[in-house]
Amino acid sequence: MELTLVQPAARSFPARYTGRTVIALGAHPDDLELGIGGTLAALSRGGARVVMAICSVPADFEARLAEARAAATILGCELKVLMEDGCRRIEDLKAYQLVGLLDALVREFAPSALLTHGPGDFHRDHVAVYQAAVSTQRLLQFDFYSYLPTMTRPVPVPFQPRAYVDISHTIEAKMQAIAAHPSQFSARGITFELYRDIARLTGRMCGVQYAEGLDVNRLVFI
């Protein structure tokens, strides 16, 4: 028997942030599209201001920036690059400098929610961004979520969502936004259908066609 979501909560995840600002934080271009592209499109369509904040562009600055801009447009989001002075690596920064960068981001946008990498990611840059984001919680009482480990080529990494966002209506926007990064996929002969498979499997876990999973670090109910 198929699992179906017969009586969902009274308010959807996007409705929680209508008229609010949400920051989606990723270490590199394409991380956000892979991890939460469908969620970001749903938030934007639901009336949230969504800022896609990318910490660093490690190579091919102009080309990858153009790809990130195109993807953000597809998802209906704003784009902000934090290390905007050319190709940089997150490890170029000391931990306190990265926290300072994210503190400034949180102060500028005063988000109601922040979504970023999780502690179980296999990429050191991703974990560094997550750890710095943890520190920014002292500034504001925003909701704080983590998304699944993101990768160009699949490797086995454990991730157990504690929250599920229905992206059945935004899965195509997610896939188009990923396709907007040809330097990472088509130009290297790498397929990204894995991410449709993950969304389908995640959807099966919660009774919808496609879903993205989130870990919940902090939720503030009023």
**Interface region with Zn ion, contact rule CB under 5 A, candidates 25-33, 94-102, 139-147, 199-207:** 25-33
Q: Does 27 bind Zn ion (CB under 5 A)?
A: yes
Asked if residues 206 and 34 have their Cβ atoms less than 8 Å apart, the reply is no
Q: Least distance in Å: CB of 27 to Zn ion? A: 4
Query: How many other CB atoms are there within 10 angstroms of residue 193's CB atom?
Result: 9
Q: Which residue is nearest to Zn ion (CB)?
A: 28
Pair of tokens at residue 18: 């209508």
Q: Does 117 bind Zn ion (CB under 5 A)?
A: no
Which three-class secondary structure state does DSSP give residue 121?
Answer: coil
DSSP string of 142-184, one letter each residue: -EEEEE----SS--------SEEEE-TTTHHHHHHHHHT-TTT
Question: Among 20, 28, 174, 181, which residue interacts with Zn ion (rule: CB under 5 A)?
Answer: 28
Site string for Zn ion, 30-69 (x = CB under 5 A): -x--------------------------------------
Residues forming beta bridges with residue 164, ordered by sequence position = 213
Site string for Zn ion, 65-104 (x = CB under 5 A): ----------------------------------------
Type of residue found at 209: Q
Could you list the residues that contact Zn ion (CB under 5 A)?
27-28, 31
